[in-house]
Amino acid sequence: MWASAIKQKPLYAPEESSSDIPFNFNGYGAAGNVRGPLVYAHYGSEKDFAFLANAGVNISGTIVLARYGQSFRANIAQRAEEQGALGLLLFSDPADYAPAGPDFVYPHSYFMPPSAAPLGTTKLVDGDPLTPFYPATESAFRIPEEEAPIPKIPVQPISYSDAFDLLSELSGAAAPETWQGDLNITYHLGPAFREAEWSVNLEVNNYNTMTTTYNVIGVLQGREEPDRYVMLGNHLDSWLFGAVDPSSGTAAMLELSRVFLQLYNETGWRPRRSLVFCGWGAEEYGLVGSVEWTEQFAKQLSNRAVAYLNVDMAIEGNYTLRTKSAPVLTEAVYQSARRIPNPNPEEVAAGRTTVYDTWAHRRPDPVQPDFPLMQLIGSGSDYKGLQHNIGVPCMDTRYTHDDKTLGEPMYHTLYETFALVDEIYDRGFKYHSAVTALWGDLAVKLAESKILPFSLHIYADYISKAQKNIEETYGQIISSQNISLEFFADAAVNFNKAVTSFDKVLNGLDQNNPLAVRRVNDQLMLVERSFIDPQGLPGRSDYNHVITAPSKNNAYGGTAFAGLVDTLTAINEASKNDKKPLWRIFAQHLAAVTHFLNTAAKVLSDDLW
């Protein structure tokens, strides 16, 4: 009888042999002992499961084997459970995480070795699952665990070495060419094995327990507007050693807070607005610390928070900067990146002397190639509650790898050690320093600028393009249902006009009048809040931002007008009888989005008529 490894094998760093290393597991995966045939489901996306159904492969009663890389693992678990799977196995294919071949993996490089098995949460709803929408304080009402939105099937990570053993014995139809990986075998769909009597026995012994987690909050009070908060944050927990995630970011925040404290002690300097340093607890278990804190202080934060700047990890590579942001922060990030010296001497020798230069050169925006790519902020880190629930503009930045892999290869594995960072990723910690400097420069810009440096024109342009994209892509099918996009288009135009008019107000503003300055800054802060729908997105009451929310099919990535796009996707995939109620949902949400766009325009024009 073959058995998979229950722990990852020590390879290099002394701490990898620690007796404290836990067994491989996925947080919130259900305990259970199940047996069944195996089905290979590629990345476990909606399209992948649809392909299997069309190919006649029945998921019900099977154990699904899926790859990390294109969907959040909780989304994969949800899909497998909905299809009737008994359990789920997750692995990282070397095609995605070790593309240079078996001789160029850790400890010889940062690529994933065969024994690695990334851990991670499988809970789809963020925060404490027992206190939805309310803070998990001592007095909170808690729902029974069996009602919590966590998987009801066992979920287990395995290494690609173990995945090879399973896939090499799987039969059934050969998987499509695009589903093949780099395990030097032909991948089959299953569910049968080469030996008819073989099956997979998946035993998971997870147990859930309620415990206390802590956030650490430090404040440098502002000298003029202490009730306006520029927030910086990083989480404090990790699955294993976490030298990259989160400790590279933790080191950056500790250094930044030390510098600001030293500056205050030596000169008495305080920023115009308060700087708030946030060390979050239990991020890895589904953003628990930050979401619960946001729920607890939602009223204060909604009225007072200027922006939140997140560094989940300072580095996951040394190729170029990778930044996700609310559109209003785009230009401020660009300006700060232009001020930070390039940590890469080869890039400096090529004439690219700043972080911005390499970012624009190595990762240009595909639509505007003269600018670096700024990704829309999604979920997956501690900005979720602030950005998507109460409308505080957020940013997350780090140095990243090139595009040869789908993610940081050592992410959540045993091998994410200090040696990996010090000997492979960042000798001399130059890239850590660059991210720290960028983080600090942006924080000071937001805290010190008399007028908040929000790029409303970029936001208006983003909304206009996204609106036109929906019209061009889906306009014909929408109009066939007698649903008009006219008001939606008009609302996008109205917001654009309001931004232009507001610019004229700013240009003529008496900046020596503190009440006038406060008034326009309040308007700038209210723009992001204007896109918050208290009812939430269709079928997703835990996401309220109608512009920047991630798609329900992948919680990691941001999608413009996700509520509209996801509903249209559901309509396309629905049976004829199920389409009608979905069209009603679409029309209702379209009206809501139109309303919130007009609300944002009215916030800038500052009138009630």
**DSSP track, 280-317:** ESS-TTTSHHHHHHHHHTHHHHHHHEEEEEE-S-SBS-
pLDDT at position 310: 99
Does residue 484 carry a catalytic annotation? yes
Segments of the chain with pLDDT less than 70: 554-558
Give Cα 27 distance to the centre of its chain. 17
pLDDT in tens, 447-460: 999 999 999 999 99
Please give the single-letter amino acid code of residue 138. Answer: E
What pLDDT digit, counting tens, does each position of 257-275 carry? 999 999 999 999 999 999 9
pLDDT of residue 546: 97
Q: Identify the CA nearest to 42 among candidates 33, 51, 30, 55.
A: 51
Catalytic residue among 17, 18, 479, 484: 484
Structure tokens at 181: 């990986």
Question: Is 388 a catalytic site residue?
Answer: no
Q: What is the pLDDT of residue 556?
A: 55
> Which one of the listed residues 169, 522, 595, 605 is annotated catalytic?
522
Its CATH class, for the domain covering 14-204, is: alpha beta
According to the model, what pLDDT value does residue 525 have? 98
Q: What distance in Å separates the CA atoms of residue 160 and residue 101, rounded to the nearest whole number?
A: 13
DSSP H/E element including 73: helix 73-82
pLDDT confidence of residue 404: 72
Q: Which CATH architecture has domain 216-448?
A: 3-Layer(aba) Sandwich (3.40)
CATH for 456-605 is: 1.20.930.40
**Residue 522 appears among annotated catalytic residues:** yes
Q: Which candidate in 16, 128, 283, 542 is catalytic?
A: 283
In sequence order, which residues have a C-beta less than 8 Å from that of residue 50 and are 6 or more positions away? 573
Active-site residue flag, 545:
yes
Burial 561-586 (b: 16+ CB within 10 A, else e): bbbbbbbbbbbeeeeeeebeebbeeb
**Are residues 112 and 93 in contact, defined by beta-carbon separation less than 8 angstroms?**
no
Give the model's pLDDT for residue 403.
78
Domain ranges of the chain: 14-204, 216-448, 456-605
pLDDT of residue 407: 77
Say which of 545, 551, 566, 589 is annotated catalytic. 545
